[in-house]
Chains A and B, each alone.
Chain A
Amino acid sequence: MLTLIVLLPLLGFLLNGVLATRLGGNQVGRSFVTVVGCGLPLAAFALTVQALFELQARGYAPLVETAYRWALIGGSEFEIAFYFDRLSAVMTLVVTGVGSVIHIYSVGYMAHDKSYGRFFAYLNLFLFFMLLLVLGRSLLVLFVGWEGVGLASYLLIGFWFDDLANARAGKKAFITNRIGDAGFLLGMFLLFHAVGTLDMDRINAAFAFTGASAPAVSASLVGILLFIGATGKSAQIPLHVWLPDAMAGPTPVSALIHAATMVTAGVYLVARMSGIYLQAPEASAVIAVVGVATAFFAATIAVVQTDIKKVLAYSTVSQLGFMFLALGVGAYGVAIFHVVTHAFFKACLFLGAGSVIHALGGEQDVRKMGGLARRIPITFITFAVATAAIAGIPPLAGFFSKDEILWYALASTSGGSPLLLLVAAATALMTAFYMFRLLWLTFLGRSRMDHEVEHHVHESPWSMTGVLLLLAMLSAVGGFIAVPHFLEPQLPLPQVSEALHHLHKPLLVLSILLALAGLAGAAYLFGGAPDRVEALRERFATAHRWLTNKYYIDELYERFIGQPLVWVSDRVFLRLSDRIVLDGTLNGLGALGRSSGDALGRVQAGKLNLYVWFVMIGIVGALLWSWRHV
């Protein structure tokens, strides 16, 4: 059954990829693509629910299903096996559930695209690899999925590849991820060397031993190497640069891949390998610090972005930072909880943004929006609910998960500290601020649209608004799904220091106050006269310039990594190595052959007497030589 869950989207990819182009872009072809492209993910979702019931019936003993023996090298077996436990169940439900509704949304969003079939083929391919990633038992299978989702992401970011900028963004995502993958691979090699298996449940079990039977490898080293892989996939500092550019893809792609599922693969990896991280306080500390730093810096950038999707992209980076903060302080279940709630509200936000872009005929700049609330009410309401959810206003989904992260950032005995809480709280405040800013600029206030655009504003079709309503509902009530509690038998929550226990309630109040403060700040600045924002911007002109340019990190990479690489490639590899050494050697050999041919050709003058001379010289020489040597 698990195999079937994984294979159904692959079947969709094959059918859509092979047949859709044959059927053509007519009505029949499109209906076929729609049925296959949406039906198979839904079937996978249904099967996942069934698998969950089976898991429950077995008393949550993990389901293991070996699909195929990949290789047998010496005594080491490499199997494609699927592993279904509480953690996989949560992730698979999110992937197939949110994935399916985004497929349905795409029916409306991509309706007029000429590459309709190709789009669904890629989406199904993505789903296949993502399911391989979350269901794989071995790190090797996970890695195949890991690379596969990277490929699907590349294909979908550059979906409209006739615009060079989109193709570039896809390339950037792919290459940045390769850097992380190098760390991931090294971590895998070390683990295999030390533990002798790549099955993740066995690795976790091996690291539970201490003393003589413990694996002969530093848990922190392995942890940090795997985390490097996670920083690439989940866009953490310093490999976060690809995610904002990835917004070049169609909006459903941003929602599915770059918000709800693929970018959380890093979080899943760390949570899945929690057995290692429990033994690696140093690696955990690194994760917490990187996470909170990413959350903070991405949030500051999001405050000044003017592209609706870029704001959401930086918000995603920031929220992923929150998840890593939770992982770093040992609250693995809470991190997965935030993955789930984030999947709901961020998918809703992206799809809402897609609906706005759809309504405005492709406009993404919030400075040219405003006053859309009355024109597209369903989009507005759902967007507002999701905004409140991410800002952390109770009782919506984001409030619960974010509050728990803040609490464990302070109180966890495995790495919690007031400093982490301080930065995280500041980030939460900014999150509320920039999200309500976005809401205000897009939907409220006076209209700043062009007259032509304003005339054509229309609400999206039901396939889009229905999905928005569903996701908004999930964003509203998703917080009541007790994910950390469900996962606790597998991923225990960290110990909380007793001395801080009395702070739990004040912290709850604080997180509500932060959300409301963000709301109030945004309302004051953007709800009132425009000169308030202008005055603020002029006062902090330098800071504003740094933020709009994203701290010049892209430029920094370009200057210190990109350009030296280009220089080395041009001067050393192209001019010296390729042209001088390689070409020089070959051309030199050719010239040698040619000139020696010219010289020897003169000997063949056609003069018989000369030949006889040579024969004589040869004979005499041979005689002399044999006389000397015999």
Chain B
Amino acid sequence: MDRTQLLLAVAAGLFALGLLGVIVRRNVLVMLMCMELMLNGVNLSLVTFAQQTATTAGAVLVFLTFVVATAEIALAIPIVLLLVRDKRTLDLDAYSDLKG
């Protein structure tokens, strides 16, 4: 297994770990962190492919993703704060008010 394959496997592993976390955990903050893990997995694969093909597009895209992720967290954390202020819990099951 060469380095590229190893890096891609790590990226897939990070993504799968994040996804698993989003699916099984109930804590909103933990779920947000798991989503960051998934993003990082994708970023890693982007960088790896950029290295492999010797282009810069992938690396540039990573910076874009960072910016988006930062903005997202900047919005998500206040939302979580507001939710917690409302229901005094981080458990996601408490927030199923909109179910059909």
Contact = CB atoms under 8 A, between A and B. Distances in A.
A535 interface: no
Interface string B64-100: 0000000000000000000000000000110111111
Contact of A612 (B23, B93, B97, B99): B23
Interface string A54-95: 000000000000000000000000000000000000000000
Interface residues of A, number: 13
B96 A612 contact: no
A605 B93 CA distance: 10
A612 B25 CA distance: 12
B100 A601 contact: yes
B98 A609 contact: no
B24 A609 contact: yes
Contacts of A600: 100
A602 B96 CA distance: 13
B33 to A, nearest CB: 15
A147 B11 CA distance: 88
A626 interface: no
Contacts, number: 34
B42 interface: no
A616 B19 contact: yes
B22 A605 contact: no
Nearest to A597: B100
Given A612-B22, A612-B23, A616-B19, A607 B96 contact: yes
Contacts of B23: 609, 612-613, 616
A609 B99 CA distance: 13
B96 A605 contact: yes
B88 to A, nearest CB: 19
A600 B100 CA distance: 9
Interface of A: 600-609, 612-613, 616
Interface of B: 19, 22-26, 31, 92-93, 95-100
20 contacts: A601-B100, A602-B100, A604-B99, A605-B96, A605-B99, A606-B95, A606-B98, A606-B99, A606-B100, A607-B99, A608-B31, A608-B95, A609-B22, A609-B23, A609-B24, A609-B26, A612-B19, A612-B22, A612-B23, A613-B23
Given A601-B100, A605-B100, A609-B26, 19 more contacts: A602-B100, A603-B100, A604-B99, A605-B96, A605-B99, A606-B95, A606-B96, A606-B97, A606-B98, A607-B93, A607-B96, A607-B99, A609-B24, A609-B25, A609-B92, A612-B22, A612-B23, A616-B19, A616-B23
